Structure 1
Amino acid sequence: MDNPEVLKQIYLDANATTPVLSSAAAAAMETMETMFGNPSSSHTSGLQAKQIMDQARCKAIQVLGAGTGQVIFTSGATEGIQTGILSALYAAKAKMKAGQSYSILYGATEHKAVPESLKHWNRILEVNATIKAIPVDVQGKLDMEYIANEVPDALMICTMAVNNETGVYQDLSLLEQTIRTHNSDVYWMVDCVQALGKTHLGLADTTIDYAPFSGHKLYGPKGIGFVYIREGAPFTPFIAGGGQESGLRSGTENLPGLAALNVIFDELLGQGSDVFSSTKVLSELRAQLSTALKTAFPTVVFNHNFDNSVPTTLNFSIPGFTSKEIMDLFDAANMRVSSGSACSSKVTRSFVLDAMGLEPWRSESAIRMSFGPAVTQQQITEACDRIQHCAHALGHSCLVSMDGVTNEREELDGLLQLKVGGSCCWVYADKQSGKAVVIDPLVEVQERLLTILECQKLSLVAAIDTHGHADHTSGRVGLVQAHLSEQACDPLGWPIQCDRIEINKNVFSFIELGEHCLVKVSTPGHTADSISLLLCDKSQLLKEKFVPEFTFCGDLILMGSVGRTNFSTSDAAAMYCSLRNLAKITNKQGVLCPSHDYHNEFVTTFDAEMNRNTLLEQAIEGRISSANFIKAKTSLDLHIDDEQGAEIMCGAFVESCQKVQVSEYDSVALTEHIEQHSDATLIDIREPHEYALNHDQYFSKNVPLTRLANFIAQQHNNMDQELILVCRSGSRSHIAANALARLGFKHVGHLKGGYALSH
């Protein structure tokens, strides 16, 4: 495969937006240049402009099957949604009876624009109805029994024709029958944004009152849309002013947008250049993509039923991989997909898949591939080819099993950090001895761990939990069955048959890993069984010294907090002693590896935490008594459950007064800076599978986020060096730069916008 950097982009995120059809763009440009009159003007230029608008309205009515209903042009679907909701609720308020309870219903998988708009206008208009989400089943279908029970008291009901994340469509006929049987007067809005061009619309044959549409979802420009309003449905102008659109929607009309829509409507009516494929062809193209995914990733799971969704959308999850990982992988191959929901530095979840009741891992791993009716066979063929190359890159990095790549694998030596949500799993591999240990294994990455061990030809010495986890199930079982079935161990996985050493009259057990040893230290507090594991150089240990390279501290110390102590097996007094003991026997600059990382800080040190956590600093320095520590800790733990949301938080977080300095460069400034500072180290922090797809020799080294902890430990004696981090979008490089700066690296910068804005 050629370097994807020079390959043409394959765009498979059409449900988010689409490129403007070339003929539509040409029509818009011609209108801007030669037919730019104001449609409200009575001179020739104005009349020519009005003709474009009238043509667009006439064609829209045909496309929608609007009959005697109205079509009003808007800035987009969001304005159409406001128009429908404002009109319905304003009219409904006038009919409300004092003392009676009312509701507003919307589908639980609706685009967020709908429930947020309902809340807004419900409050602004002082309707004060109860807003309720209609449940969906595992297929994404609305619960008709719920609607039948709730709609009699509803002022308005909002549903969508086609879901933007899954492509699932609703049975509008059944929905209409259910709604109108139980409430013939309720106002009904249907979000039809994703339905246009993908399914038949005959709105005049329904009792749908309002239906918003958006041009940029179907090869039109952004900033143009339209809304259907059924004849007789109440209407209140959302925008007042000069009286355009017969007084229904004021504001100078977007004539270039309307000219572009004219071209799109021609395609939908079969009067254009036939660039839109039929539903049958689109279904065949989706089948090709799904086959390619199943071949490349045999464990892939599709999150919707193809029989109940439009043929232009695939939503899938790959076990063991987050949506961010797969998005970055595909992006490195110059193929654009999305997670189907907003990404952030925290856990990415799909509220749509959550509402469908799918397993959390599927929601966190969801990827959406979507294309429009103008997609070509060549584009789909190329996409299928790149999907296979993406899987090959994962095999190269030992993340999936694949024949023919083990001889060219990246060798793992040192520490690897794998994360699922806020939970961390640690793998330490000693290349020389071929031994490895897994600490705090997670079920979600169990297959990945097994693949790494097999691909890297590593012998698993132990799989150990630092404590009994309350927020997730340990992933030890699968590892033990595959590699340690005959090993006798304690409940946390520590081998019973192991060496012991006496240091300062205390006996410690340890496991050998080549020239290193993993030492167990009892550190109760968070739970009664909590331990910490110290990875030390064997020669230092034989000298009866603890100089750990890494300290796996479980939930004793977290970034920005210490572990919670309000579990039934917790003991704040024991935690006080454990903190002081662990700080005494370890290097305060040594790397601490907790079992949770809620804020993308990766690792920490005693010094870094003491700088921002007064309670921790007071405990370790002996400036607070055990009794006062218990009192303060109890107060902190009272508020943990208030901030946890759907995730059990294992520590109460403190506000950091520590400010870190990170330099940000654009591509021009970075080039100039490197020319002036030849000693600066430029680091690509993409993961190895991304690097394999898009390798640029310009960078000094590759340090992926999964290996950042290892890099920090290697460089902790060289914190004066200048490091400049680069990734695809700038988000990961910014996060990593902040983590390094917080730990004391003095000259850290990153490329703002990453590769995406540097070409």
Structure 2
Amino acid sequence: MKNATPLSQIYLDANATTPVLPEAAAAAMNSMEVLFGNPSSSHITGLKAKDLMETTRQNAQKVIGADTGKVIFTSGATEGIQTAIISALVEAKKRIEADKLNDVSTSYSLLYGATEHKAVPESLKHWNQILGINAEIKAIPVDRLGNLDKQFIADEAPNALMICTMAVNNETGVYQDLAELEQVIRSANNDIFWMVDCVQALGKTKLNLSQTSIDYAPFSGHKLYAPKGIGFVYIRQSAPFTSIIAGGGQESGLRSGTENLPGMAAINVIFEMLLNTQHSAFADIKTLRGYQTQLVDTLKSVFPAVVFNHDFNNSVPTTLNFAIEGFSSKEIMDLFDAANIRVSSGSACSSKVTRSFVLDAMGLPAWQSEAAIRMSFGPAMTQAQVDEACLRIKSAAKALTHSCMILDNGEIDDKQPLNGLVQLRSGSNCTWVYADQQSKQAFIIDPLPELNDRLDTLLQCQQLELMAIIDTHGHADHQSGRTFLADKHLPTQQTDALGWPQACLQHSQLQYIEIGHQWLVNVATPGHTGDSMSLLLCSPFKDKNDIEQQCQFAFCGDTVLMGSLGRTNFDSSSATDMFSSLKLIHSLIGSNTLICASHDYNNEFTTHLSAECQRNPLLRNTLNGQLDVDGFEKLKAELDSHLCDQTGSEIMCGALTDSQLAGQAIVEYNHQSLNYALANDDVTLIDIREPHEYALQHTEDSSENVPLTRLVDFIQQQQEQKHRKWVLVCRSGSRSFVAAQAMQRLGFDNVAHLKGGYALSS
């Protein structure tokens, strides 16, 4: 599988990790091939190794300004954090026990910054429990700029055993004024143990630790061009210390285990570059700030809705944290990844978290936290790399304009035409857009307010005439976006409460509106709510008996959900009405018309009654006549009773069943087996990334781009091709796997996907 236009990557995720500098890698290799001795050995080979180790230690002390105190090499920052916390808490426990002997009753606490890396509070909780200290663990609030609340510290520190703060935040680059903090902390409690996480500070801010009262400071090598697995921790001369690794007595008995000499050799090169700036690959602060400004200006120029989540006046120049209104963090990450720009959403250690606890703590709006993108680089960044990054950002934005996701001064001549059904989502909520390219007409079903700007942009860019904006029912879990769009695009249209146009047509006692050559038919289907209706998109039909053959999509709201039926325990609900509505829907659309629901809780995209009947006995027995209305009401109430275990903070619109359709495991190709299949078998490769991603990067073998937002439309078009061999591919393999599962569930028995996606095949 060949990339059509391979690009070298622009790596802008340095706060997660960095590549090893060639000079550092060479030093590590030399230590493995030449200076490979054990530093504890007394022969010449061992003595040379020991000299390298001690030289590295001395350079570390110079870099962090620690002419007093100890520097102990560790496996990384997490071990350094454990070392600091255990050392402090073991000593603190002695104080607690002494207080108990003297009948002193005190309520103790452990303090940490609310924006601290999760390794800190989790370690505090762990060792607080293990050591039986049972102190109250308190987060120090921060203001909107990310600065720690000094009054809180002043109030809480007198009874605190330990305080943990951060020199530079890993998500936002916000730095704390350590001198001011020290004054507040020591004025409140001169005996409190103070740890400062300095991982992101190394090489970005000047440190002079021996001139402070900081007791512990962990560092990590892989954040600054050294290999993973090497770090160190600074311990103030007077600070207590407890060894957490006992054994052969290495590191002067402070940390046992054979020393990581290759790691030390590599990080020593980094230290030498920091100490000898004239012969260094590292840029100075002024240059780095210039790089940041260039990136900021580029983002502002191509994304007018960009918002930066931190103030540049109190953050290091190597970190940018921003959000683009109307786009999720995943969408921007996927977009940049297609342009071979590597960024992250917040902390790489919590990449599966959907929002940033750091930005939440700073009090930023929820959408900024959920849409946050972190762009970070190291001091070895070059002007050429920044220039290329800016070009890629511009090309990524241009791809969005081609896909009608943003407008570019009205220049929309080269847009990709939209024809057919599009599924847009916010969380589990679905909005459906149908466009007829020939007539330039469109309708929107269940518009979400979060998608208002995107829908508005789509309509403008595609120059579509909006015929209707309709909700399938009154939603309990979210507001409709219908009013905003109707005021702008249909200011004079008269509708009912859900947006159904009063100026509609009628045929066979059914109301409908025309969209191009299609009919959108309104069918009252109460049950989930009293006002629930289903909207059927059909070709013109003779009578009701003819609808099934002409129907392409059924927008049934929450009446039929993937894996369940809509709940019927709202005040306006009626299980009796739902029983009748289900039978009516079945009589009109049959078993295989695609149903487009208002919610998709399991990423299944669409369904039909045949698939749902296989896994939902309540629906199956209702439609085949084995269940009467009384039996339905009883079983439906039992199904709805499971909702109490699923609600949480979200109002669930249907109780999900555990039953899944039985089917074969999805066939997974790797790079080699797919190349063989493409050359020797009748296999069709489908790239399911969004059009803007596909435009930026795709393979020469891809015969078609079917984005996930158009997957339901594709499934409908291929109803007669269910035995064809399809192989789906995306960036990482996650989206292609989910899409393949959805297609297989609906009868596509030869669908497969590329495991690991483009990430593992390039």
Q: TM-score, normalised by structure 1?
A: 0.95
3-state SS in 1 of match to 2:279: coil
Counterpart of 1:674?
678
Q: Using the alignment, how far apart are the partners of 1:531 and 1:426 within structure 2?
A: 15
Q: Using the alignment, how far apart are the partners of 1:238 and 1:202 within structure 2?
A: 26
Counterpart of 2:230?
224
1:9–1:657 distance in 2 versus 1, CA, 3 Å: closer
The answer on 1:398 being equivalent to 2:400 is: no
Does the 8 Å contact 2:78/2:119 carry over to 1?
Answer: yes
Alpha-carbon shift at residue 604 of structure 1 (Å): 1.6
Matches within 5 A, 1:403-552: 403=409, 406-502=412-508, 507-539=509-541, 545-546=547-548, 547-552=550-555
Q: Using the alignment, how far apart are the partners of 2:155 and 2:563 within structure 1?
A: 48
Which residue identity does 2:574 align to in structure 1? D
Aligned mate of 2:701, from 698, 701, 706: 698
**Which deviations, in whole Å up to 9, do the C-alpha atoms of 1:493-522 show, x marking residues without a partner?**
1111111223xxxx3221111121111222
Alpha-carbon shift at residue 419 of structure 1 (Å): 1.2
Greater Cα shift, 79-88 or 657-666: 657-666
Q: Using the alignment, how far apart are the partners of 1:628 and 1:144 within structure 2?
A: 64
Alpha-carbon shift at residue 705 of structure 1 (Å): 0.6
Counterpart of 2:65?
65
Counterpart of 2:117?
111
Does the 8 Å contact 2:431/2:445 carry over to 1?
Answer: yes
Alpha-carbon shift at residue 205 of structure 1 (Å): 2.4
Aligned residues: 752
Alpha-carbon shift at residue 543 of structure 1 (Å): 6.7
Counterpart of 1:599?
602
Alpha-carbon shift at residue 724 of structure 1 (Å): 0.4
Does the 8 Å contact 2:420/2:436 carry over to 1?
Answer: yes
Matches within 5 A, 1:619-634: 619-634=622-637
Counterpart of 2:666?
662
Greater Cα shift, 227-236 or 545-554: 545-554
Which residue identity does 1:187 align to in structure 2? F
Which residue identity does 2:517 align to in structure 1? E
Matches within 5 A, 1:24-35: 24-35=24-35
1:668–1:544 distance in 2 versus 1, CA, 3 Å: closer
Greater Cα shift, 606-615 or 732-741: 606-615
Which residue identity does 1:45 align to in structure 2? T
Q: Using the alignment, how far apart are the partners of 1:395 and 1:53 within structure 2?
A: 55
Q: Using the alignment, how far apart are the partners of 2:66 and 2:650 within structure 1?
A: 47
3-state SS in 2 of match to 1:237: coil
**Which deviations, in whole Å up to 9, do the C-alpha atoms of 1:649-683 show, x marking residues without a partner?**
32222112434420011110111223332x22111
Counterpart of 1:176?
182
Q: Using the alignment, how far apart are the partners of 1:9 and 1:510 within structure 2?
A: 52
Q: Using the alignment, how far apart are the partners of 1:577 and 1:148 within structure 2?
A: 66
Matches within 5 A, 1:268-417: 268-270=274-276, 273-341=279-347, 348-403=354-409, 406-417=412-423
The answer on 1:563 being equivalent to 2:566 is: yes
3-state SS in 1 of match to 2:94: helix
**Which deviations, in whole Å up to 9, do the C-alpha atoms of 1:325-376 show, x marking residues without a partner?**
1111111111111112469998722222222222222222211110001101
Which residue identity does 1:58 align to in structure 2? Q
Q: Using the alignment, how far apart are the partners of 1:487 and 1:721 within structure 2?
A: 45
3-state SS in 2 of match to 1:294: helix
1:346–1:14 distance in 2 versus 1, CA, 3 Å: closer
Aligned mate of 1:143, from 144, 149, 158: 149
Does the 8 Å contact 1:4/1:334 carry over to 2?
Answer: no
Does the 8 Å contact 1:561/1:651 carry over to 2?
Answer: yes
Q: TM-score, normalised by structure 2?
A: 0.94
Alpha-carbon shift at residue 104 of structure 1 (Å): 2.4
Q: Using the alignment, how far apart are the partners of 1:95 and 1:732 within structure 2?
A: 55
- 4+ residue runs over 6 A deviation: 343-347
**Which deviations, in whole Å up to 9, do the C-alpha atoms of 1:300-345 show, x marking residues without a partner?**
1111111121111111111111111111111111111111246999
1:4–1:213 distance in 2 versus 1, CA, 3 Å: farther
Alpha-carbon shift at residue 707 of structure 1 (Å): 0.5
1:284–1:648 distance in 2 versus 1, CA, 3 Å: farther
Q: Which runs of 5+ in 1 are unaligned?
A: none
1:645–1:263 distance in 2 versus 1, CA, 3 Å: farther
Which residue identity does 1:333 align to in structure 2? A
Greater Cα shift, 709-718 or 101-110: 101-110
1:189–1:610 distance in 2 versus 1, CA, 3 Å: farther
Q: Using the alignment, how far apart are the partners of 1:617 and 1:206 within structure 2?
A: 72
Q: Using the alignment, how far apart are the partners of 1:602 and 1:522 within structure 2?
A: 23
Greater Cα shift, 104-113 or 19-28: 104-113
Alpha-carbon shift at residue 118 of structure 1 (Å): 2.2
1:345–1:173 distance in 2 versus 1, CA, 3 Å: closer
1:708–1:327 distance in 2 versus 1, CA, 3 Å: same
C-alpha RMSD of matched pairs (Å) = 2.2
Greater Cα shift, 275-284 or 351-360: 351-360
Q: Which runs of 5+ in 2 are unaligned?
A: none
Matches within 5 A, 1:156-305: 156-270=162-276, 273-305=279-311
Q: Using the alignment, how far apart are the partners of 1:72 and 1:347 within structure 2?
A: 33
Greater Cα shift, 654-663 or 27-36: 654-663
Q: Using the alignment, how far apart are the partners of 2:554 and 2:264 within structure 1?
A: 63
Q: Using the alignment, how far apart are the partners of 1:611 and 1:130 within structure 2?
A: 52
3-state SS in 1 of match to 2:655: strand
Counterpart of 1:39?
39
Greater Cα shift, 522-531 or 294-303: 522-531
Which residue identity does 1:216 align to in structure 2? H
Does the 8 Å contact 1:347/1:421 carry over to 2?
Answer: no
